[in-house]
Chains A and B, each alone.
Chain A
Amino acid sequence: MFTIIKHQIKEGLKDARFIFLALLILLAFLINGLIFSVQYHADVQSWHSAVNENTQLWRPTASNLQSLSNYEQSMAKPPSPVAFIAGGQEDKIPNTVTVNAFRYLNPEVVTRDNKIMPVVYALDWVFIIGSLLTLLAVFLSYDSICGEKRDGTLGLVMSNSISRLEIFFGKFLGLLFVLALTMLVGVLLNLAVLVMSGSWPVSTHSGLRAGILSAAALIDAPFGYDGQQPH
């Protein structure tokens, strides 16, 4: 069985289809990293300035508890450090609310996004894995049995003392390994760009979440909206 897996991996890596699409996927991961590092930097800056502005504005009222409780603060939601994995609705749903001690007023979108830009698929991990990696998986596997039958090698493989289950399972594991390798390289490339850019917080927390989400991606678990507080 290991021979079959090894053979499948070798064949897969040499395939022109694989090289084409794997390069495309790596490029997409790279672009994602570059874009997000710039955007996250700008988002964090604007969040900090919003928080500072708010603090400066409420501080003068703090001498009097009544005026402080009546003062309408505007609270800003921090940008998610893992939005490059699943952008979700982060840019669209309200990220600023006005509150005082008694009321919760107009949530509003002090948008960090460009409203004019037409809606297309965001280039996050959800898209890269959900569309491009899936396409690669189909391209690699669609003729792994019938292609061998056409070339006549299937009969040769069958004539060995290997059960059909082992052949099928070996092919499956080999292809999965090829896909996992592509994704791993892409993810590492992406994270390397983010870490080198210096704007992304390298913490065990965000690292762990990125790790869990990439592990989930391998078993094709759907991504949910991920927009919790950082740190």
Chain B
Amino acid sequence: MLLPLLSKEIKLHLKTFRFSAALIVTFTLIILSVWVLGNDFVARSNLYLKLSESYKQGSESIFVPSQIKPVMHKPPTPLSIFAQGDERRLGNTVIFSRWSVPSEAVDHLTNNKLTADHISYDLMTIFALIISLFSLLLTYDAISGERETGTLKFICSFRLSRASIYSIKFLAGLIVISLPFLISFAGALLVLSFIHGIAFTAEQWIAKVLMVLSGLIYSAVFVAVGLLCSTIARRSSSSLVLALFFWALAVLLIPGAANGIAKYIAPLHPPEEIKHLELTTEAEVKKQLADYRQDATPYAGQGSWMGAWIVDENVAMFDTFSVAQYLQNVEYVRYQENLRQVEADRIWDAQKVRLKSEGDQAALADLISSISPSNQLQTAFTGLSGTSYEEYERFLDACRRYRQTILNDFSKRGYFDKNTHDFFMRMPRELFKTEEQFDARWHNYTPYIDAGIFEQAIKATGYFDKPLDEDFIPPFQYRGGRPDFNAAAWPIGLLFSMTVIAFLLGFTLFIRYDVR
């Protein structure tokens, strides 16, 4: 008796206009969004490869350690096609600097800065907005509509418990709403593999299966709520209004209001404080350097050619007029490097306070909107696709660790202590011992300088033929966003319990339902 009723329910649903509308709309939207975002992903990965390649080429002209400035890119993950999350919104590139700790990434892989902040119509948004609406529309009149046409009395006169009737209606709704989605998702995977040629790893396949699962549980919440609405209201038009009211509240209003309320309750640490600290620290450092130059090294920073100025972070090499001046310059570089690195840590400590206040506010907003199923879906999807804010944090952490590794490596080699010469100078230290040796360096390349051919002059020194070894610094270890299964467990569980609560509530109402 159960199975025939279930198949009858499903067949009835399949014949309705609502189902065809849901099928067409879902299919079109999912295929279109996957096609557009797939193109976007391919473009971004190509750009990523190109940038990494150009960085490798650039590293061939690095001759001294002070020139080392690796660029760290966050490679795009193919799962971002299904849930864009924060991957395009927040930055993806960090440039190494000895004089500052990275607190945020800049945007190098996104084409348009202004659209990066918009809500993108990916699978997650289609689920949150469209499929939830169709789930409600499918079941809002399952009980009240049958009561109006009088068939409910007929069904209840069968030798069937009300529990099984209610469960069948729920199951039928869930199966019918999952059909359009499963068909479109299969189509989307075909589009991705045949048009874009994107291959997924095993881990990403598991993440995709879990995404489908969490999406289905999400629609189950709305199917159960639709049934609940249809048992609460006697007339089907009223239950429609009730269902749409719930949708507007849960999907549209709560997430937006939660952000606003969190901003109201927990205001942010003012950004101007950090700006102020940065400006004053910079002024302070400049003053200290000026004082140092006045007292200890009056000639430091003068006499540079074919390299950068000594005041610049990128001290490649510089030439001086005498051994005394050279020694003063070495002292100056050593002093400045140590000073700047301490200041960088100080500014980072202040930035941590600001970042913590942002994190607290976001956590509060997340807590307030956790009653909204769409918020849980967002957490699950972004966690599974590796595009969540946590992943961005992990990337930045990796960048900071990498910076620290390089700096530790440098100080182990004594670049900020006794070997500062090797830090920015390619020529052997012996040349700078006596004035005779010092003057002898010039004979090789003065003719070229007099002729104005600086490249030839640099070559003639004989110290710039071979760049630094590639494995002079360790490679950057971060390998792109990976599915975070732990982050998705809690939201999936919460969505499941929401379904159970809505189902049980509607069920208890239906037990005492007056079928006339």
Contact = CB atoms under 8 A, between A and B. Distances in A.
Interface of A: 16-17, 20-21, 24, 28, 31-32, 34-35, 38-39, 42, 45-46, 49-50, 53, 57, 89, 92-93, 110-112, 114-123, 127, 131-132, 135, 139, 143, 147
A24 B253 contact: yes
Given A38-B263, A53-B279, A46 B270 contact: yes
23 contacts: A28-B257, A31-B261, A39-B264, A42-B268, A42-B270, A46-B271, A46-B272, A49-B276, A89-B114, A92-B117, A110-B271, A112-B271, A114-B263, A116-B361, A116-B362, A117-B361, A117-B362, A119-B119, A120-B255, A121-B119, A121-B255, A123-B260, A132-B252
Which 5 A/B pairs are nearest by Cβ-Cβ distance? A116-B362, A120-B255, A35-B260, A121-B256, A123-B256
A34 B263 CA distance: 11
Contacts of A127: 252, 256
B272 A110 contact: yes
Interface of B: 86, 89-90, 104, 114, 117-119, 237-238, 241, 244-245, 248-249, 252-253, 255-257, 259-264, 267-268, 270-272, 275-276, 279, 358-359, 361-362, 365-366, 378, 389
A117 B237 contact: no
Contact of A131 (B90, B119, B252): B252
A89 B117 contact: yes
A131 B359 CA distance: 29
| Secondary structure class of chain B's binding surface, majority of residues | helix
A93 B117 CA distance: 10
A115 B272 contact: no
A42 B261 CA distance: 15
Contacts of A110: 271-272, 275
A126 B385 CA distance: 31
B267 A38 contact: yes
B365 A50 contact: no
Given A38-B264, A114-B358, A57 B253 contact: no
A147 B237 CA distance: 10
Contact of B248 (A32, A46, A135): A135
Contact of B114 (A28, A93, A132): A93
B267 A28 contact: no
Nearest to A53: B276
B362 A114 contact: yes
Given A89-B114, A111-B271, 8 more contacts: A17-B245, A116-B362, A117-B361, A118-B259, A122-B260, A127-B256, A135-B244, A139-B241
A35 B248 contact: no
Given A92-B117, A114-B361, A116-B361, A121 B252 contact: yes
Given A112-B271, A132-B248, A118 B263 contact: no
Contacts of B238: 16-17
